[in-house]
Amino acid sequence: MTTSSGTDETPTSTPAPGRPEPAVDFIRAKVIDDNASGRFGGRVQTRFPPEPNGFLHIGHAKAIGTNFGIAEEFGGTCKLRFDDTNPETEEQSYVDAIQDDIAWLGYEPDEVVYASDYFEQLYAWAEELIGKGLAYVDDQDADTISAQRGGFGQPGVESPYRDRPVEESLDLFRRMRAGEFAEGQRVLRARIDMQSENMQLRDPILYRIRRAHHVRTGDTWTIYPTYDWAHGQSDAVEGVTHSLCTLEFSDHRALYDWCLDHLDLPGDQPEQTEYARLSLTHTVLSKRKLRQLVEEGLVDGWDDPRMPTLRGLRRRGYPPAAIRAFVDRIGLARTNSVHDIELLESFVRTELNRCAPRRMAVLRPLKLIITNWPEPSSDEHEVLVEAVNNPEDATASTRQVPFTGELWIEQDDFKLDPPPKYYRLTLGREVRLRAGFYITATDVVTDDAGNVVEVHATYDPESAGGSTPDGRKVRSTIHWVSAAHAVDGTVHLYDRLFTDPHPGADGSDPIACFNPRSRETLTGAKLEPALATVTPGQVVQFERLGYFASDLDDRRVFHRTVGLRDEWANIQKRAAKQGKQRGR
């Protein structure tokens, strides 16, 4: 598997956020051509067809952005169609969650429909096929049928039931519907070509018996259409023009067309076009694998902030606008590739940089005492300093942050034995406290093990607001929270869900490289008072630490959405350097 981050036009590099849009992709080009030639009478109708058997992931966001996006751009319509043809695995809760996730992403279906709305019509069309001698009831079991299908370069074996008389098939099919047979006892198959090079055309199964309760049709049906029988015909009933799906369905296109070609259909025949699935490094985008993570208890649930599900990303603080921008930028390609997760994160960072308020929080607190700070009896004992809410947003103004002589700073921001190039606080050194004063460390208190438990410092009263009359420079600025005003919080830091950039690509079980250190929880964080009033799900920047989302259920819990460092820029720099070296 290769890592590439481009569209058809630019196979090796994806423009960074903020760069110009790539040229029109091959699907949009096709829509433009179709409109120009008057095909479909200039109509554009798409659909997003999830199976309600799990939660949507970011791969689905690509399908949603593509289908809803194209409809919108060309003045067309896009329906949400639940592909509810497998009663055993489908649930109403998934139906609800999928609608909720689509709305969260910012799209509104023109209509919500279900493949099950068409069960009666699909059944009638199946009888029509049987009548034309193009479908037959097969009494063999699934394993036998599968073995007879053969493989590439291997001949298929015709079923002994293939030439059964039309009336017999029709009678058996009606009795299948009436519930006379057990599950697996009979299926309806299309009668196409057992020697076709395309395995999908070797008499595919159109109906199977399932004695399961269906979320919408209840116990009305005991036979259910397969994906291949339901999909194209549902498209046709609805008047879909461009039926867009992922590349694994390429082989199904001939069958899609075969079914439509052999029925008397109203209106134009829809056309299936396939595009590359979205894959991302360090994660998996398959409902089955994601379910395994949930069921094995490796994550807290489908909405765990480490999950690539839309629920997970939402809880993690990903803005929907960033996901939409990412989907737009990666574009639609004809070959599969894997995108760096850092690219997605850079879109998240760009969006949050624009809109997230800045706040101060100390994750691993160390006490700092300012020894020359005014006494408690003084009016000056507690002051308010003015901090900028968002330097990227002129309308975000400032806020007042309480400052006292007893503060929390990060353990990392003080070192007794500073390594080279460490410019933060150490004994005898002066640094700036963000929006506050200059301080110089003078002394420490250590515990029995020699760990620093308290730092003593003096401050320069002339340095209020972060500069001094003599223009003295310091090499670093650190953040802080007043101890008396701090709000306690819990913070989750996240690392990659899988240690391997391509989990399972070599055929191994991806779960084997699940990252056991993908979450680190810090329970003793100290937050500035303004953080007591965040709204659930709000994302703020903790200065110098990254972007953090308040939990949807507990506002004192924060999830790190992304760090501040632009790792995507580094990846691009490295790639450019390697390119140059190769060019030498």
User: Which residues are at the interface with ligand ATP (CB under 6 A)?
Assistant: 49-51, 59-60, 62-63, 245-246, 277-278, 285-287
Which residue, 47 or 424, is less far from ligand ATP as judged by CB?
Answer: 47
Residues 6+ apart with CB under 8 A from 344: 58, 280, 322, 323, 326
Give the type of residue at 46.
Answer: T
Nearer to ligand ATP, 46 or 140 (CB): 46
For ligand ATP, the closer CB: 56 or 401: 56
The least CB distance from residue 63 to ligand ATP, in Å, is 4
Residues catalogued as catalytic: 51, 277, 287
Contact 472, 502 (CB under 8 A): no
Nearest to 518 by CA among 485, 559, 577: 559
Residue 238 CA to residue 118 CA, distance in Å, equals 10
* Closer residue to ligand ATP, CB minimum distance, 135 or 284: 284
Provide DSSP, 202-223: SS-EEEEE----BTTTBTS-SE
Closest residue to ligand ATP: CB criterion: 59
* Shortest Cβ 261–ligand ATP spacing (Å): 22
State the DSSP H helix or E strand holding residue 478, giving kind and residue range, or none if neither.
strand 477-478
Provide the minimum distance between the beta carbon of 494 and ligand ATP in the complex, in angstroms, as a whole number.
21
**Shortest CB 292 distance to ligand ATP, Å:** 12
User: Between 109 and 489, whose beta carbon lies closer to ligand ATP?
Assistant: 109
Cβ distance to ligand ATP smaller for residue 245 or 549: 245
Closest CA to 548 of 349, 414, 371, 404: 349
Whole-angstrom distance, CA of residue 56 vs CA of residue 102: 9
Q: Which of 103, 53, 57, 58 is CA-nearest to residue 80?
A: 103
Q: What is the DSSP string of 492-534?
A: EEE--SBSSSSTTTTSS-GGGGB-TTSEEEEEEEEE-GGGGGP
Distance CA 172, CA 178 (A): 10
Q: Are 307 and 289 in contact (CB under 8 A)?
A: no
Write the CB contacts of 166 (distance below 8 Å, at least 6 apart in sequence). Answer: 130, 131, 133
In the complex, least distance from residue 517 CB atom to ligand ATP, rounded to whole angstroms: 26
Kindly report the number of other CB atoms within 10 A of residue 153's CB atom: 6
C-alpha dihedral (297, 303, 304, 307), degrees to nearest 10: 90
Shortest separation between residue 305's beta carbon and ligand ATP, angstroms: 19
**In the complex, least distance from residue 291 CB atom to ligand ATP, rounded to whole angstroms:** 9
Identity of the residue, 306 or 555, whose beta carbon is nearer to ligand ATP in the bound complex: 306
Q: Residue 269 CB, nearest distance to ligand ATP (Å)?
A: 19
Do 551 and 315 form a contact (C-beta atoms < 8 A)? Answer: yes
Cα(537)–Cα(415) distance, rounded to whole angstroms? Answer: 35
DSSP at 357: P
Task: Kindly give, in sequence order, each residue whose CB lies less than 8 Å from that of residue 8, ignoring residues fewer than 6 positions away.
Answer: 25, 26, 331, 332, 333, 334, 335
| CB of 250 or CB of 404, closer to ligand ATP | 250
Measured CA to CA, the distance from residue 524 to residue 507 in angstroms comes to 42
